[in-house]
Amino acid sequence: MLFCLIFILPWITMSRMSLSADPENAKKQEITALYLYNFLLFVDWPKNAASDTIKLATYGAPRVYEALKPMAGKMIKGKKLVVFSLAGPEGLDDCCQVLFVGDTEPQILKELLKEVNGKPVLTISDKAGFVRLGGMVSFEDPGGLRKAEKKRKRFIINLSAVRKSRLKIRSRLLRMSDIVYDTEPVNLEMP
């Protein structure tokens, strides 16, 4: 009986909680993927950067990568979507049109942004402060499930960085954003 109380109860409880937590987590990943997917719909790349594929790289975001993987090979606006996970900033040169950055050290983030600086690569993150470091688009805590309109995630665009990369963000996306910065990055430290 004591065995039951000490071992079985916590085991059953924990396993139940972990099982039921999975759908929640899956939803968070799907919502992150939803945002990313829509950015692909609402962004135009310069003609010389356009090809018949849209290459989307993730860094420091294994779960987002997993959520996006099933979409690889699908056609978006006549282009085939390619999804891959980057091991480090060194593999970034001219390899993608979209870069999603998840958890990373400030120094590596700095290197990543430096690598794509001025290139037609859309940089996105779900980390607060990303756009102030020179990133283009961030949606803060996109995976959090909002319960009311007031708790909606903040969706921020750095137009200056977008312009520098010769990308065009459609007005629809700008209308949906909460804040549009049109300034140079203010610092290179993660807040």
Partner 1 sequence: MIRFFLTFCILLSGLIAPVDALSQAQKDTLVVCLGKARPKSLDPAVSNTRQVLTLYHNWGDTLLYRDPVTGKIVPGLAKSYRILDNGDMELTLRKGVRFHNGEPFNGAAVKFSLGLLKNSDSRVSRYLADIKDVMVLDDHHVRIEVIKPIPTLSQLLANVLFIYPPGYYQEVGKKGFGRHPVGTGPYRLVSNRGFTEMNFERNLRYFGGPKGIAKIPKLKIRIIKETIPQMEALISGEVDLMRSGCVNPEQVLFLKQADQVKVLSTDILRVYFLVMDARGRSGATPFKDKKVRQAVNHAINRDKIIRDAFNGFAVLSDSVVSPLHFGYENHVTRYPYDPARARKLLAEAGYPTGFDTDYYAINNESAAESILGDLKAVGIRAKPQWMMGKWDQFYQKFLKGEIPLAFMTWGSYSIFDASALLNHFFMADADACYGTTPEINRLLEQANGILGAEERGKLLSRAQKRISEEALWVPICFVEVICAMHNDLHFQPAMDEIDRYFLASWP
Compute the least distance from the CB of residue 33 to partner 1, in Å. 7
In the complex with partner 1, which residue's Cβ is closer, 22 or 90?
22
**Residue 68 or 133: which CB sits closer to partner 1?**
68
Least distance between partner 1 and beta carbon 17 (Å): 6
Name the nearest CA neighbour of 190 among 101, 114, 129, 104: 129
Tell me the DSSP string of 58-101.
Answer: EES-HHHHHHHGGGTT-EETTEEEEEEE-SSGGGGTT--SEEEE
The Cα–Cα gap between 150 and 147 comes to 8
Q: What is the nearest approach in angstroms of partner 1 to the Cβ of residue 96? A: 19
- Give contact residues for partner 1 (rule: CB under 8 A): 1, 4-5, 8-9, 12-13, 16-17, 19-21, 23-24, 26-27, 30-31, 33-35, 37-38, 41, 70-71, 74, 76-78, 145-147, 152, 170, 172, 175-176
Smallest gap from Cβ 10 to partner 1, in A, equals 9
Q: How far is the CB of 179 from partner 1 (least distance, A)?
A: 15
CA–CA dist 115, 51 (Å, integer): 20
**Residue 28 or 127: which CB sits closer to partner 1?**
28
Residue 178: C-alpha distances to residues 6, 39, 96, 138 (Å): 50, 15, 27, 11
Cα 80 to Cα 96: distance, rounded to the nearest angstrom: 13
